[in-house]
């Protein structure tokens, strides 16, 4: 097996923010600090760097980046300023973070080509980045705070990969919200008619129930966003020093697809998710958008406000593009990959399926090898080596 080298990378630049939004030394002393891990096969040079980045997660422990390094590629698992905590995450700031990594790769480390690898939630990030690098427009966050993406000089990547990626965090959360919540502050106050986990309810679900359910999910999303906008406006109008608030969104893992394999079918395990048993996760401490600031909600969780929507940004992506779908994905719903692929503006684009693969390739060495091979073959065919 190819021996790998792991090198810690650190970038720092002026924070430029109105108030501290990240915990500890990062961001509170006038600097934004970024950390990443460069994974390379020993004694093998490369002129191409694959950058894996997620808005809030660190990816160096995932199997695919390591598999790509063992295949001979140099791989950077890049962290944002919000790594491991997306409570206050602003997607526009993460674009600047990714831009700093691309700049370092090209101008400091000497790589000729950069390939953005959008894994899972990193898919909509990389698509937004590439679209803004090719056609920059953003000058403010959805909350109206200034952020000069248009003038940041983002360097476009040479190719973009969408790997087991959903179209946006906002859309995914909408599809997962539990619409039975009647009181946003009391998770025990629930409408039994919309309770996916009510005793006696079983899959497959009838179309009338699903239609009402999806509509109620959208209504709940709209209600949360309306409260966010009202609170943010009230704080701004008060003119005081209180600028931001944090709130909890209860029950965010109630997508009928997790229980009903006939909805957008793939080979996923029924009654299971990448985080475990869906009913348990629905009320547990970990979930999409569980804890959020007002500004972060608009930037990453509200479908009406987020810019990180691959179905919108994809049309401005003109570099070679590859979408990879896991055939038994237990996180990203089956239709997302195909819809992203259809929306991409690049002429050179391809979509590949890894049959039977779950989201993290857990206990799946054959599927992991298949994914690494198809990505490697696609890159080699375009002279990324």
Phi, psi of 105 (to 5 degrees): -60, -45
The DSSP code sequence of 48-78 is: EEEEEE-SS---TTSHHHHHHHHTT-EEEEE
For residue 317 the two structure tokens come to 């992506």
Residue 345 and residue 315: Cα distance in Å, rounded? Answer: 4
Residue 232 and residue 42: Cα distance in Å, rounded? Answer: 51
54: CB partners within 8 A, 6+ apart:
80, 119, 120, 121, 122, 125
Give the three-state DSSP class for 223: helix
Give the three-state DSSP class for 373: helix
Helix then strand then coil, % of the chain, to nearest 5: 35, 20, 45
pLDDT at residue 28, rounded to an integer: 61
Distances (CA, A) of 14 to 33, 100, 258, 263: 9, 12, 43, 47
Residue 88 and residue 91: Cα distance in Å, rounded? Answer: 10
Q: What is the set of domains in the chain, with CATH numbers?
A: 4-168+307-381 (3.40.50.1820), 171-301 (no CATH)
340: CB partners within 8 A, 6+ apart:
123, 127, 162, 165, 167, 310, 311, 314, 323
pLDDT at residue 19, rounded to an integer: 64
By the 8 A CB rule, do 38 and 74 touch? yes
pLDDT at residue 1, rounded to an integer: 74
Instruction: Give start and end residues of each alpha helix (H) in the chain.
Output: 63-70, 91-103, 122-134, 169-176, 207-238, 278-282, 294-296, 310-313, 335-343, 365-381
By the 8 A CB rule, do 253 and 330 touch? no
pLDDT at residue 30, rounded to an integer: 77
As beta bridge partners, residue 11 has 34
As beta bridge partners, residue 163 has 119, 324
**Bridge-based pairing state of the strands 349-354 and 321-326:** parallel
Q: 10-residue block means of pLDDT along the chain (385 residues)?
A: 94 77 66 95 95 96 97 97 95 98 97 98 98 98 96 98 98 98 95 96 96 98 98 95 95 97 97 96 93 98 98 98 98 96 98 98 97 98 94
pLDDT at residue 212, rounded to an integer: 98
**Cα atoms in the Cβ-side hemisphere of radius 13 Å centred on 279:** 9
As beta bridge partners, residue 293 has 246
pLDDT at residue 24, rounded to an integer: 61
pLDDT at residue 17, rounded to an integer: 66
Rounded to two decimals, the pTM is 0.95
- pLDDT tens digits for range 63-87: 999 999 999 999 999 999 999 999 9
Residue whose tokens read 């206050």: 88
């Amino acid at each position: 097996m190819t021996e790998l080298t792991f090198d810690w990378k650190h970038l720092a630049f002026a924070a430029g923010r109105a108030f501290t939004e990240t915990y500890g030394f990062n961001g509170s002393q006038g600097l934004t600090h970024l950390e990443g891990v460069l994974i390379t096969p020993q004694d093998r040079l490369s002129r191409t760097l694959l950058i894996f980045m997620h808005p809030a997660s660190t990816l160096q422990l995932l199997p695919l980046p390591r598999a790509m390094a063992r295949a001979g590629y140099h791989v950077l698992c890049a962290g944002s300023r919000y790594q491991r905590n997306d409570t206050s995450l602003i997607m526009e700031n993460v674009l600047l973070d990714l831009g700093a990594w691309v700049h370092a790769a090209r101008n400091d480390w000497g790589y000729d080509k950069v390939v953005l690898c959008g894994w899972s939630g990193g898919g909509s990030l990389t698509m937004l980045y590439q679209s803004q690098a090719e056609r920059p427009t953003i000058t403010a966050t959805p909350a109206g705070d200034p952020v000069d993406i248009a003038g940041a000089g983002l360097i476009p990547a040479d190719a973009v990969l969408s790997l087991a990626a959903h179209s946006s965090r906002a859309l995914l959360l909408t599809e997962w919200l539990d619409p039975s919540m009647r009181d946003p502050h009391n998770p025990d106050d629930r409408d039994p008619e919309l309770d996916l986990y009510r005793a006696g309810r079983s899959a497959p679900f009838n179309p009338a129930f699903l239609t009402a359910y999806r509509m109620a999910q959208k209504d709940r999303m709209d209600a949360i966003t309306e409260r966010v906008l009202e609170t943010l406006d009230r704080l701004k109008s008060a003119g005081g020093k209180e600028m931001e608030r944090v709130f909890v969104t209860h029950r965010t893992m109630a997508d009928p697809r997790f229980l009903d394999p006939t909805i957008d079918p793939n080979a996923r395990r029924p009654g299971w998710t990448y985080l475990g048993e869906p009913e348990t996760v629905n009320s547990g401490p970990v979930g999409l958008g569980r804890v959020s600031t007002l500004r972060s909600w608009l930037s990453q969780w509200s479908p009406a406000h987020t810019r990180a929507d691959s179905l919108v940004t994809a049309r401005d992506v003109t570099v070679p593009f590859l979408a990879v779908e896991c055939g038994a994905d237990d996180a990203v719903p089956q239709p997302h990959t195909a819809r992203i692929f259809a929306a991409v503006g690049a002429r050179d684009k391809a979509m590949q399926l890894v049959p039977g693969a779950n989201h993290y390739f857990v206990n799946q060495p054959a599927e992991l090898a298949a994914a690494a091979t198809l990505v490697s073959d696609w890159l080699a065919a375009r002279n990324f080596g």
